[in-house]
Amino acid sequence: MLVPLGAAGLTAVGKTGPAACSQQGMTVRIPHEPRMSGGAPAEVVEWRRHRLVEHGFPLGLAWRLARQQVDLHALLELVDRGCPPELAARILAPLDEAG
**Which of 28, 26, 46, 27 is closest to 36 using CA atoms?**
46
Question: Which percentage of the chain shows pLDDT scores above 70?
Answer: 57
pLDDT one-digit tens code per residue, 50-82: 999 999 999 999 999 999 889 999 999 999 999
What pairing do the DSSP bridges indicate for beta strands 2-4 and 27-29? antiparallel
27 pLDDT tier (thresholds 50, 70, 90): low
What is this structure's pTM? Answer: 0.57
**Which of 36, 82, 42, 45 is closest to 65 using CA atoms?**
45
Which secondary-structure segment (H or E) carries 68? none
Averaged pLDDT of the chain: 76
Question: Which percentage of the chain shows pLDDT scores above 90?
Answer: 48
1 pLDDT tier (thresholds 50, 70, 90): very low
**What local confidence, expressed as pLDDT, does residue 25 receive?**
61
